Amino acid sequence: MKIIKFKPSTKFKYQRRVLIKNLELNIFIGIHNYEKKKKQKVRFNIEIITDPNISPSKNDMSTILNYETIVNKINYLVKKKHHDLLEELASNIFDVIFKFRLVKKVKIKIEKLEIIKETESVGINVSKTRI
């Protein structure tokens, strides 16, 4: 009989992030009449933290959050309807992203790039966590 000694396993704490950086789209956004008639350039920065207990596997695509899919869904969302407020748009983006079971936390920064001439941009930063 051979005795095999096991070394204590080392535990790691992982945090995986999917980043969408500086996505710029021309969209209808805003409460003013002129904003409803002319598209504005808007920049999106999104950070998505996924479940660290699920290891990514190329053989199981449900273990991976596809950033291309997220970008396509955002494109579809902003083309589908006018949003009066950036906060409303952020909330709708959260709804889309949290449909993926891997997602634990999302941070969204949305900026209007050309609305106030004296600024580079104006916008919001919002985060939401799955409990």
pTM for the predicted model, two decimal places: 0.86
Q: What angle do CA 26, 29, 35 make, to 5 degrees?
A: 95
Distance CA 110, CA 40 (A): 12
Helix axes 86-97, 67-80, angle to 10 degrees: 140
Mind listing the pLDDT tens digit of every residue in the chain (131 residues)? Answer: 566 655 655 677 778 999 999 999 999 999 999 999 999 999 999 999 999 888 888 888 888 899 999 999 999 999 999 999 999 999 999 999 999 999 999 999 999 999 999 999 999 999 999 99
Q: Token match 């704490």: residue?
A: 13
Phi-psi region of 22 (alpha: psi -120 to 50; beta: other; left: phi over 0): left
pLDDT value of position 11: 72
Q: What angle do CA 106, 35, 22 make, to 5 degrees?
A: 35
Q: Token match 């209007």: residue?
A: 112
Phi-psi region of 112 (alpha: psi -120 to 50; beta: other; left: phi over 0): beta
pLDDT value of position 14: 78
Residue 95 has phi, psi (to 5 degrees) of -55, -40
